[in-house]
Amino acid sequence: MRLLPACILCILTGGAWAQSGPEVRTAQLLLKPGVESESIGLQIGRSSYGMRCTAPGCEPGDPAMRLWSRGMWSPRWGAELGLVDTGRLEFDGGLSRAQGVNFSLVRRFSIMDSLSAYGKLGTTYGQSATTAGLAQRQGAGSGFGLSYGAALNWDFSPTLSASLEWENHDFRFSTGDRGVRSTSLGLQWRY
């Protein structure tokens, strides 16, 4: 997926803007008016493709990963842009993999001083590929799909926090649309 390296660069340079001089900071405020806080994060976990295996050897391969950047325009509301890699799934002699770019609206719920919950709703533009297996056909798919999720977040310092997250991204596969769910642990840095 050629879009992923460009998006990674955009997400990673967001933190550099916050550290730059006044002219860059002014440009940043013009591009993102009303942003109260910003953060970047990395989630690592496992995905479930919602497929039933009919032969031995059906198992997840690579871990699922998500790299994201979030801007909160109030203590409760914000938006998030992220890269999603659901890892690969080996099944019946075949292999499936899905990746995408996600945009979500984020709602934060404060539970205690250092503990909060997040709910997310948005869309993912994804690309998938499936190699032929015993019960699957080979092919690729791409397009927009619904995404949603929830997370618990623990702030263990003013700039660092850890999270436990569950999310679903709808991808188009050669066999039809399918929701890929993942559970992950992550770290985020606020700047």
Run means of pLDDT, 10 residues per run, the chain, 191 residues = 47 45 43 69 86 56 87 93 86 77 96 94 89 65 90 94 94 76 93 85
CA distance 170 to 64: 15
Residue 183 three-state SS: strand
User: Domains of the chain, with CATH numbers?
Assistant: 3-190 (2.40.160.20)
pLDDT of amino acid 22: 46
pLDDT of amino acid 181: 87
Largest distance between two CA atoms of the chain: 61
pLDDT digit string (tens) for 161-180?
999 999 999 888 766 677 88
